[in-house]
Amino acid sequence: MPPPAVPHGMCLKIMDDRNMKGGMGSETNPLKFMDQDYNFLQEYCLKTRQRFVDEFFPPDPRSIGEGLLEPEVMARVEWIRPSKLYPDKAEFVVDTVSRFDYAQGNIGNCWFLASVGALTFQDKLLQKVVPDGQSFSHNYTGLFHFRFWRFGKWYDVVIDDKLPTIDNQLIFVRSKTYNEFWPALLEKAYAKVCGSYADMHSGCVSEALMDFTGGVHMHYELKTAPTDLWEIMYRAFQSEVLMGCATPAGKENEERLPNGIVLGHAYTVTKVYQVMRGKCPVQLVRLFNPWGRIEWKGEWGDDSPSWNDVSDEDRKQHLRDENGEFWMSMNDFLRTFDNMDICCSSPDFLEEKSACQWISKFHHGSWVPGSTAGGCTDHPDTFFTNPQFWLKINEMDKGCDQGQSNVLVSLIQKPDKRNRRLASHHFIGFYVFAVSLSFR
């Protein structure tokens, strides 16, 4: 934790095993992003019979951002409502929400779309992020809203439905069903939170995973992964969690390997499963490429003969479509991918048989040069000046497994600027120390 060049904030999230309560900025009572009230704006537009246009994220080059499109391409951009692109045919959702609904567009936000793929598996989380009742027919005003968790608080984010197009084709995320628009509108809402579409270019899958769940985050470097990581992932899959992973960077941007893996790319973990190959169990992981294509060609992939060696029941898991989703063994997963993230509303799955109910608490602080920025333990003379937070556990819940770790701590760095790409990134960290009961 070296002293930063400028003051910056931090948010320390501590999970413990007591019941959660709501409040302002909770998932049931979100704050209004940029003070825009969805219900008020919707009622106003209905009364005045006009379509909403968002002055805080206007349909012009400012919302696309700098450096993403060449000037001659930017000049061709038209912002068009789905109701104009496909009169009487535009739909918010066609049938159901699925990871197969979309494919990545002309922006490097695979980290975001991989997180969206994970979100489609969890109906309760999906309904938090994508509120029900939105459509292009009933009470349509060109106004939509989505909800994201940001550094300890849930926010309701409103947008208009003017989408950037060239020759009547969406520039960014594209739906595979021509008249379905939930992916493009969700992407636009998140671009507004980030500052622009350009601010979504490049990132870590954990960022959006946290913003979809409430920020309980576990990160694993796969080269030093715990021996029971597959078991952790398996239990996590049974719970309401989102999982994503990333490949190591290549020599070129999004370099494709002969085995079908894309380097410097984010993927969704969509299932964790075990098959029997003869008498030997094989631990598998199913993954999804947000491009909607380009798959692993190795063992347990779509064309692998390994599926001939399993039971008829296990063979039902075999994938054959070129849709971006594929299986691989856990061993290949550890060799191929660089890191993975698990995010969830509650980490109950960490204690397999525990009946604990977790809550979250937040402590806010900052490192200030010359005052509270004491550096890491290499600086013993100033280390003690760092912000300190005390945690006392009075008693364990009866349903909790005695002796298990029942506290999870995450440290989050708050951005110092609205636009995500302009925010400073400082080296930060934390230590956990045991304190004697007799210490005052």
Q: Alpha-carbon dihedral of residues 41, 45, 50, 55, nearest 10 degrees? A: -10
The secondary structure of residue 182, as a DSSP letter, is H
Longest pairwise C-alpha distance within the chain: 73
Backbone conformation region of residue 370, classed left if phi is above 0, alpha if psi is from -120 to 50, else beta: left
User: Residue 201 corresponds to which tokens in the numbers above?
Assistant: 């270019």
Give the sign of the dihedral formed by CA 392, CA 395, CA 399, CA 400. Answer: positive
431, 433, 417: which is closest to 196 by C-alpha? 417
Look up residue 380 and give its DSSP letter.
Answer: T
What secondary structure letter does DSSP report for 436? -
Structure tokens belonging to residue 219: 């990160």
Type and span of the H or E element at 341: strand 339-344
Determine the straight-line distance between the first and last CA of the chain, rounded to whole angstroms. Answer: 26
What φ, ψ does residue 224 adopt, rounded to 5°?
-125, 30
The catalytic residues are 110, 265, 289
From residue 217, give the alpha-carbon distance in Å to each of 106, 206, 413. 29, 8, 13
* Amino acid making up residue 183: P
H-type helices in 54-144, by residue range? 61-64, 71-74, 82-85, 110-119, 123-129
- How far, in whole angstroms, is CA 329 from its chain's centroid? 24
